[in-house]
Chains A and B, each alone.
Chain A
């Protein structure tokens, strides 16, 4: 029963991706209701699927949850910022992550780690949500730089017409970082809490990656809030932060391969 809602979500995310990309292929853009409705339907199916993922162990469930949060943030961006172009990135990303999760296999391998209690699940959920916020900040920054480039180059093609205004993308990036930072902080604190309560074993890799994410995100928020970076400079800072977090994760994962644990 875990597989069916995930497969439905995968299909709907793929359809949402096609709808988001269609205008770039010269097709008529989908209506706002359709553009928002399809990923939301997928999201509903996905929530049902993720809710059945117990015990919550391994890379696949984490990727599935990350995909879920990305689509939720995409819908929120569309609803609050009319930033439908976010779907151009989140659509393929969420579809890919969910597809990868299904390929790896959502059923837990071997015995579940001990002490996967409510606090541990909360730690994972909050941390993954923080990561999704960081990914959204990255996407908003990438969209910003693309639109910036097109405007500077005086190219009035699909990016000019379909992407949101520069200022709105900057605001979305700012909001994602400002909300993402306390979320990641809470996730890290919950992780320490779970570890010291003896609820779950935490590897050094998890601590390194968690702290690095927190520091990098803190820097990106700091330059925006304290040093008032905005626009292109802030976009580069966001992209650098997310890339650093991603690269360190890949390096740590290569050092200790396996799909049974996220790290």
Chain B
């Protein structure tokens, strides 16, 4: 597909390897993942002071500043339903009711473990979920190294053309 627009193999790799982040071949990846090279090229890749986790801490802080409340160490056991509607959640065995529930847990876990009523899972039955294949994401090494490496920029990518594309990203 990409080769029909760009004959240059390096450019093809640069703009197509991002689906490997989710363990899917560029030939099979959803076009949605074009967002990643688009963002890289238009806005650049940045490193947050203190690391990526600073983003999470800052967003939690913003939410609390807006008046929201975060309950930590609060394990949601179930999403509670009644009359085909979600009515609340069960946290460590305690029922909490709400007008709306938004669940951001991993989908296969949430739909099979948190929803009790088989009829409310729609087409995502336990059998269907169990049959689904998982793809491998990146192989990631965390290296603690001494010194500084000014020749390496944030998110430096080294592409190597073997039989498949092997991207290496430095963060």
Do A and B share a complex?
Answer: no
Binding site for A on B (CB under 8 A): none
